[in-house]
Amino acid sequence: MLKQILFIALLIPSLAVAQGAPLIGCIEQAPDGCACSLDSFWIKCGSTCGGLIFWNDYGTEPALMFLDGQLRKLRKVREESPGLPGHRAWFEGDGYSVLVRYRPAPSTCPEWKVKYDEGCEYIDVLATIRITRQIDGAVQVIDAKGTCGC
């Protein structure tokens, strides 16, 4: 069995799952507004919500994740280098700790907008999300892609 787990881990390096790790699900409907929203590379939820697994606005609203069968609200407890490469944000709530490490991704802003100096109201990001269930210390780490902006 250990060989099978190792084989699967080698096939899917961006999805590291410990035994009994928190189960990540999709957010069916995220609130409107300016936010960072992240989709999983591996979790597919259907046409209604794509693969949205993390949502966080720029204001006072809590971040949202669907963990272990429930929508969880997570408050931001710390942030480093917002808006820069290397941006990291820590969240806690409902018995979970979440660390999100953002990094730049190739832009999906249409070239004509860049050419005419209009730009887009969002930036593309890649992120690594580390979820820890506080009651037992179980951890799940997953890579995601998404946008931050309006």
- Residue-level pLDDT at 1: 40
Whether 1 maps to a domain, the answer reads no
- Residue-level pLDDT at 51: 77
Cα distances (Å, whole numbers) of residue 38 to 5, 13, 27, 63: 27, 18, 10, 11
Whether 105 maps to a domain, the answer reads yes
Range of the domain at 29: 15-149
As for how many domains the chain has, the answer is: 1
- Residue-level pLDDT at 136: 95
Per-residue pLDDT of the chain (150 residues; tens, 9 = 90+): 433 433 333 334 344 444 588 889 888 888 888 899 999 877 766 655 567 899 998 777 899 999 999 999 999 999 988 777 778 999 999 999 999 999 989 888 877 776 677 778 888 999 999 999 999 999 999 999 999 888
- Residue-level pLDDT at 18: 45
Whether 35 maps to a domain, the answer reads yes
Q: In terms of pTM, does the model score above 0.85? A: no
- Residue-level pLDDT at 32: 83
Whether 7 maps to a domain, the answer reads no
